[in-house]
Structure 1
Amino acid sequence: MITNQRYEKIMNYLNENGSGSVNDLVDITNSSTATVRRDLTHLESKGFLKRFHGGATVDQMEQEEDYSEKSVKNLSKKLKIAQKAAELIEDGDTIFIDAGTTTYEMMPFIKASNITVVTNSITLIDQLVRNGHNTHVLGGKVKPSTKAVVGHDVIEKLKTLSFDKCFVGVNAIDIHHGYTTPDEDEAYIKRTAVEQARRAFVLADSSKFERSAFVKFAGVEEAVIITENENHPFLEKIDDRTTIIGGGVSDLYSDI
């Protein structure tokens, strides 16, 4: 098994179980004790886990936060990202925008006309309708903490739709797990939206980098990252795997 595959298996195991012994990790990677210990040392140096005697535990796992708490965190960064994202919407586009505090900030910046917006966010509806956009809200159960509509019906409806672009939020991004979020229901919605869009965009401020949450919804290469800091060291590690927008919007169309 190659090194990156071992890293992924180790992190998946730790994220699912909270912690694991060296023997557990030897078994799942079919590697030697010495190899696993070297892997744990490397992953700890990158901040992905913490070692203890005889094993390791995950570090910095992102947990779900209440919407009102998230909405005021890193607000200036979110506004920069939201404006960049909104500028990518073109006249006549059909787009999906998911529930999130950064996607919410896109609303006043959307200048394109004759667009169709599909969303699972109850917080976006009023502004979308007030601004005259053709708005479709996916039906299902409302999750109070994130103001997202979730459930089987949302997934099945999304599978019947196609989008020019989708814009989704993320709780964490790292090399091994890609884009992750704490909630399974929301992860499935993000995953489906990415699959149904010609171009997928993940909105992420730099506080989300080199962290992981419980559920992966896409690999790094499956979406363009829109962020406020294109010079962050983490982005150098993945710039050969995806497009990163941290400067001018025109850069996107020269790279894709």
Structure 2
Amino acid sequence: MLTNQRYEKIMDHLNENGMASVNELVDITSSSAPTIRRDLTHLEEKGLIERVHGGAAISHIEHEEDYRDKAVKNLSKKIKIAQTAASLIEDGDIIFIDAGTTTYEMLPFISQEDLTIVTNSITLIEQLVRNGHRTHVLGGRVKPSTKAVVGPEVIDVISRLSFDKCFIGVNAIDTAHGLSTPEEEEAYIKSRAIRQSRNAYALVDSTKFNRSAFIQFADIEDAFIITDDVKHSFIEKIKSRTEIYGGEKK
């Protein structure tokens, strides 16, 4: 099993169960104990887990990461989610696409026509324009760590717009705190975009389940959830509170 595949299996297991022993992780990855210990050391250095005696536990507080680090993590999950999200767009829609590494993966799958796309992500601009979409970039200060445009100017403009749909990146989700993100300025933008949209979609891979970040920007009921694992135990807990999308368009 490749290293990144082991990381993904370890994180999936910890997100599902909260904690695990080294022996459990050896079994589910078919790896040696020394390999698992090295993997756990790496994941702890990234702030994703906490080492405990004989194993590891999930780190439940999500911190802000650099865009380049996030972009390569859980990529297969992000692509699956992005494809489902793009399938929900219809010809002629006016949409908002949030800054984020999962929303970025939507771009190859957006083939609908006559779209107007608003974004606060500097990474989306070039590809959207190249693909022939009417593209509006919100003006403000660029955050180097997330490539997001933030600031009061962004909030002011979004407050005067209306969207058919918005697609929002999420750092963490749990039943108590809803949808959350580590950074206050981005939280305001996500919250306002949801309020200005007829339909709001939160793109959440399963590694974000049962976690929280510093700022809550929406309740679970405020957005439909698009995820990679609709059979996860966390989804069972929230499916009565909102619509869940995963794999195929509903």
TM category (shorter chain) comes to 0.7 to 0.9
1:246 is displaced (CA, Å) by 1.5
**Residue deviations 1:42-79 (CA, integer Å, cap 9, x gap):** xxxxxxxxxxxxxxxxx621000000000000000000
Partner of 1:70: 70
**Residue deviations 1:26-57 (CA, integer Å, cap 9, x gap):** xxxxxxxxxxxxxxxxxxxxxxxxxxxxxxxx
**Is the Cα–Cα contact under 8 Å of residues 170 and 179 in structure 2 kept in the other structure?**
yes
Amino acid at match of 2:179: Y
3-state SS of 2:200 partner: strand
CA distance in 2, matches of 1:112, 1:129: 14
3-state SS of 2:241 partner: coil
Partner of 1:79: 79
Amino acid at match of 2:184: E
Structure of larger gyration radius: 1
Partner of 1:191: 191
Q: TM-score when scaled to structure 1?
A: 0.75
State the number of aligned residues: 194
1:247 is displaced (CA, Å) by 3.3
CA distance in 1, matches of 2:205, 2:248: 16
Amino acid at match of 2:63: Q
Amino acid at match of 1:84: T
Partner of 2:155: 155
CA distance in 2, matches of 1:89, 1:238: 24
What is the 5 A alignment of 1:230-241? 230-241=230-241
Amino acid at match of 2:67: Y
**Residue deviations 1:173-210 (CA, integer Å, cap 9, x gap):** 00010000000000000000000000000001000000
Q: Any gaps of 5 or more consecutive residues in structure 2?
A: 1-58
3-state SS of 1:247 partner: coil
Partner of 2:205: 205
Amino acid at match of 1:203: L
Q: TM-score when scaled to structure 2?
A: 0.76
Partner of 2:171: 171
Partner of 1:218: 218
Q: Any gaps of 5 or more consecutive residues in structure 1?
A: 1-58, 252-256
**Residue deviations 1:121-154 (CA, integer Å, cap 9, x gap):** 0000000000000000000000000000000000
**Is the Cα–Cα contact under 8 Å of residues 80 and 247 in structure 2 kept in the other structure?**
no
**Is the Cα–Cα contact under 8 Å of residues 178 and 216 in structure 2 kept in the other structure?**
yes
Runs of 4+, deviation exceeding 3 Å: none
Amino acid at match of 1:82: A
